[in-house]
Amino acid sequence: MTTVTSPLLPPLKEFQRCLEQIWHNRWITNNGAFHQQLEQAMAAYLGVEHLSLFTNGTLPLITALQALHITGEVITTPYSFVATTHAIWWNGCKPVFVDIEEETCGIDPDRIEAAISPRTTAIMPVHCYGIPCNTDRIQAIARKYGLKVIYDAAHAFGVRRDGQSILNCGDMSTLSFHATKVFNTVEGGALIVNDGETKQRIDYLKNFGFASETEVVAPGINSKMDEVRAAFGLLNLQQVDTAIGKRHRIATRYRDALRGIPGIRFFDDMPGIRHNYGYFPIFVNAAEYGMSRDALYFKMQEHGIYGRRYFYPLISTFSSYRGLPSATPANLPVATRMADEVICLPIHHELTDEEVENVILQVKR
Ligand SMILES: *Cc1c(COP(=O)(O)O)cnc(C)c1O
């Protein structure tokens, strides 16, 4: 038995019908019918006003910084996927790493102000594992210093707090629809903005800056989503709640079974939060558990269970970034410890009861 991840796939027959429609339309990219439908359906599903589809989840990060004219230094978290920091670098800005808080795995608001310099223009936090950051405090700091806030919300598809989408926080938020995410369009992503004028500008930027046939208003890029993937996404959107429901049941089973094991910690559901169960991280305290995280990780692999060490190694340890003053482990003690302790257990909509029990067995020993 091998337990690996499994992407959410639309029913093949229905996808075939969509493909026939696309063949019939003879319109395969550039804001076609499926692209328009998915933008509308997605905005309604998520509870946001203005959303622009992208060809992956990295280009909306890069485009957000471009659109907001971010320069100088950007405060961010080392506890994320590398794309978060790469997007800052690709805009010619300097990433400044700030440690995370244990309660959310998001950037620690208590440590942001000390990292602000006269060159700081933005904060780029991550709703890690879909757990909302401390957005109120981040916003208060941003307001005080006149900074923009761009959330990497790649993990936060459908996450709500007190009924409101967390994608409406800050100046912009980005999503990833990569195959490994809760919702996918094979590859894909989106940028969520606060007003129609900004959405218009984003729509230009993702199409080379074209505002009309003859007018280029900015140095844009090509990051549009095509019709085939928009159709794929439209079908997946219809079944994503069912998939989230299955993930929820698996998370509940994991929690019931793993609670009380010395040295194993995990997140409980948080009051008022509608989670998406995209990840089920556990944190292994080697001394209390009697085995290191890596020993457990490789033992699980011997039993065919492929967990993921998200996020190890920290972005700040990669060769491109480790020379930055803010990248020193002494500046990032919580992130360093959590990166050394984390394993994300397998969780997806097709995981069988037998597979779940096998994972539990290996963690329980
Ligand atoms: C997946 C992911 C991205 C990148 O998205 P792609 O669609 O793979 O380009 C960015 N940030 C985080 C936190 C992610 O998990």
pTM over 0.95: yes
Phi and psi dihedrals of 2, rounded to 5?
-120, 130
Q: Output the CA 291–ligand 1 centroid distance in Å.
A: 31
Residue pair 236/184 in contact (Cβ under 8 Å)? The answer is: yes
**For the chain, which domains are there?**
2-237 (3.40.640.10), 240-364 (3.90.1150.10)
Q: What is the pLDDT of residues 229-252, one digit of tens each?
A: 999 999 999 999 999 999 999 999
Residues of the chain under the 70 pLDDT cut: 1-3
| Ligand 1 mutation pick, 53, 58, 223, max ligand atoms within 8 A of CB | 58
| Ligand 1 interacting residues, C-beta cut-off 6 A | 56-58, 80-81, 83-84, 126, 152, 154-155, 176, 178, 189
Q: What pLDDT, in 10s, does the model give residues 191-202?
A: 999 999 999 999
Distance of alpha carbon 308 from alpha carbon 181, whole angstroms? 13
Q: Each residue of 192-227: b (16+ CB within 10 Å) or e? A: bbbeeebbebbbbbbbeebeeeeeeeeebbebbbbb
The residues facing 330 across adjacent strands are none
